[in-house]
């Protein structure tokens, strides 16, 4: 998570039993929240704060998750997205969204991990 409000890469493909590590290099805190409506790769109920460098003694905050079964794992940052009625992440809007100088709200901060079967 760089200083901008998105996950890099947005989409990641791994094999089951692999781990994914999020590193928050921004000064602001971020979160990783699982979108369990769509997730089939395990790790339900994830809602974890990853501190930014300003709140972590100048060091990037991290989160590491292991994915034990094949499937899809969609996630978003609760500070930069919320779910609409169709369980899709959308930008928060005027009350708490990120707004550019032209009064436009940015894309929601979200990502997806595809977990393929591992090797036997």
Tracing tokens 């090797």 back to the chain, one arrives at 119
Query: Residue 52: which pLDDT band, with cuts at 50, 70 and 90?
Result: very high
Token pair of 92, please?
Answer: 């928060």
pLDDT at 6: 79
pLDDT at 49: 96
Domain boundaries, the chain: 11-116
**Domain spanning 11-116, CATH architecture:** Sandwich (2.60)
Token pair of 90, please?
Answer: 């959308």
Q: What is the pTM of this model?
A: 0.85
pLDDT at 12: 97
Among 67, 87, 89, 66, which Cα is nearest to 79's?
Answer: 89
CA of residue 69 relative to chain centroid, distance: 19
Higher pLDDT: 84 or 93? It is 84
Backbone angles phi, psi at 55, to 5 degrees: -110, 15
pLDDT at 79: 86
pLDDT tens digits for 16-48?
999 999 999 998 899 999 999 999 999 999 999
């Amino acid at each position: 998570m760089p200083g901008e409000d998105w996950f890099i890469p947005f989409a990641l493909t791994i094999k089951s039993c692999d781990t994914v590590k999020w590193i928050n290099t921004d000064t602001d805190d971020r979160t990783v929240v699982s979108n369990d409506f769509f997730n089939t790769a395990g790790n339900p109920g994830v809602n974890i704060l990853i501190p930014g460098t300003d709140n972590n003694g100048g060091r990037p905050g991290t989160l590491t998750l292991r994915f034990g079964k094949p499937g899809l794992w969609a996630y978003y940052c609760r500070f930069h997205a919320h779910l609409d009625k169709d369980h899709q992440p959308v930008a928060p809007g005027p009350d708490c969204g990120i707004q550019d100088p032209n009064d436009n709200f940015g894309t929601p901060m979200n990502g997806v991990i595809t977990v393929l079967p591992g090797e036997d």
